[in-house]
Amino acid sequence: MGKAIEAIAVQRGHTVTRRISRSNRHELNREQMALVDVAIEFTAPESALENVLDAFDAGLPVVCGSTGWNKNLYLAKEKCVSVNSAFLHASNFSIGVNIFFEINKRLASLMNDWPGYSVSVSETHHTQKKDAPSGTAVTLLDQVVDNITRKKYWQLIGENETIHDEAVIPVKAYRVEDVPGTHHVKYSSEIDDIEIIHTAHSREGFALGAVLAAEFIQHRKGIFTMRDVLMQDKAF
């Protein structure tokens, strides 16, 4: 993602002044970051929080795309407020997925009145992906739980497993070489199925969204979402 983000940032007229990886992580400090406007963090579930906190300490607003660390997100938000900075985390930065999220919420709210439909979610990603289910799938699942009162939880299950608990939404995660990311929400009744699918064709959409988010938070203070970025001048 770092390379894809750099390519889009340069295309949009920005300069990437610092590239931080494991080997030069000590450079993530106030002195080295003096010329930087925004930090964009895409690393891994186990390193995201520390990187975000250190970027705040270095005086930078932060866009973060690392997934798989939702349980600690509140710590990043608390830090953001305490240093009066800006923070935007998204499980998926692509514009298409954010439209998909809106459709998912609407479909789930309609299904609240139709208990004859069961719901399941699946996602497919490249084999290097570390977290499962994907952060995007978790967002989709949380949206369903928030909008359908009979659904209380979700559970990751194996390819050939099934769940018979009405309160639980089953989610399957497939790992296939070179797949940038596919998400599938399926409602089934005895009479018919309704399915919504988002298929990413490349990582460019995630990178563009992350750069748009960085442009958005640069002169703002607070905690934002991709919805805030996309709502600026579009019907969203």
Ligand X SMILES: NC(=O)c1ccc[n+]([C@@H]2O[C@H](COP(=O)([O-])OP(=O)(O)OC[C@H]3O[C@@H](n4cnc5c(N)ncnc54)[C@H](OP(=O)(O)O)[C@@H]3O)[C@@H](O)[C@H]2O)c1
Stretch that binds ligand X, among 62-70, 100-108, 116-124, 189-197 (CB under 6 A): 62-70
* 184 is annotated as an active-site residue: no
> Smallest distance, Å, CB 45 to ligand X?
6
Q: Is 206 helix (H, G, I), strand (E, B) or coil?
A: helix
Q: Residue 117 and residue 193: Cα distance in Å, rounded?
A: 8
**Is the alpha carbon torsion for 42, 48, 54, 57 positive or negative?**
positive
20 is a site residue for ligand X (CB under 6 A): yes
98 is a site residue for ligand X (CB under 6 A): no
Closest residue by Cα to residue 94 from 208, 181, 182, 13: 208
- Tell me, by CB under 6 A, how many residues bind ligand X: 22
67 is a site residue for ligand X (CB under 6 A): yes
Q: What are the φ/ψ torsions at residue 110 (nearest 5 degrees)?
A: -65, -40
Binding residues among 124-143 for ligand X as defined by CB under 6 A: 131
One of 14, 77, 105, 129 is an active-site residue; which one?
Answer: 129
Indicate the residue among 167 and 176 with the shorter CB distance to ligand X.
176
Distances (CA, A) of 68 to 44, 71, 155, 169, 215: 8, 8, 15, 19, 24
> Smallest distance, Å, CB 27 to ligand X?
10
82-98 residues labelled b (16+ CB within 10 A) or e (exposed): ebebbbbbbbbbbbebb
* 219 is annotated as an active-site residue: no
Stretch that binds ligand X, among 43-51, 53-61, 80-88, 163-171 (CB under 6 A): 43-51
One of 125, 151, 184, 198 is an active-site residue; which one?
Answer: 125
Length of the chain: 236
Q: Which two tokens stand for residue 105?
A: 């919420």
Binding residues among 203-222 for ligand X as defined by CB under 6 A: 206
> Could you count the other beta carbons within 10 Å of the beta carbon of residue 199?
12
Task: List residues near ligand X by CB under 6 A.
Answer: 1-2, 20-22, 25, 42-45, 47, 51, 65-68, 90-93, 131, 206
- Which residues have a catalytic role annotated? 125, 129
